[in-house]
Copies of this chain bind each other. A is one copy, B any other.
Amino acid sequence: MKMRIIDSYRWQEDIIKPFSKELGTTEEELKEILIKRLDMSSLEAIHPRFESSKHYCIKERVHADLRLCWLCDVMNILSEEKTEQIKNKIAEEILTQGKSYEKAIEDGRKDLLEYLMR
């Protein structure tokens, strides 16, 4: 039964394929992990949770990749409002405009440095 959920087309496309890549593992291994570690009801809950958490988790990645921890939280060179604005813009570009994470973060880094140099 668990296998049937995970092998469905939507699960494959939305979770297994992209997330195995992000984790640096194979699709088979990721399936094995999910089946081993989750019961039926948790498994069913994951698809909507995964979708709705994308914005939040991408922003966490951007925070780390643009070193906003240091720029905002430690050095106070960037305000929290500006930091949020930067992260929301990048997440938007990825989630609604279909930009790749790599391209979006590269553009975001340029914008950030330009802003800081102003």
Binding site for B on A (CB under 8 A): 19, 22-25, 29, 32-34, 36-38, 42, 46, 49-50, 53, 56-57, 60-61, 63-65, 67, 69-71, 73-77, 109, 113, 116-117
Q: Are A75 and B61 in contact (CB under 8 A)?
A: no
Q: Are A57 and B38 in contact (CB under 8 A)?
A: no
Interface of A is mostly: helix
Given contacts A29-B113, A32-B117, A74-B53, contact A64 B67 (CB under 8 A): no
Q: Are B69 and A57 in contact (CB under 8 A)?
A: yes
Please, how many angstroms separate the alpha-carbon atoms of A56 and B69 in the complex? 9
Could you show 9 A-B contacts with beta carbons less than 8 Å apart?
A22-B67, A38-B75, A42-B76, A46-B75, A49-B74, A50-B74, A50-B75, A53-B74, A60-B63
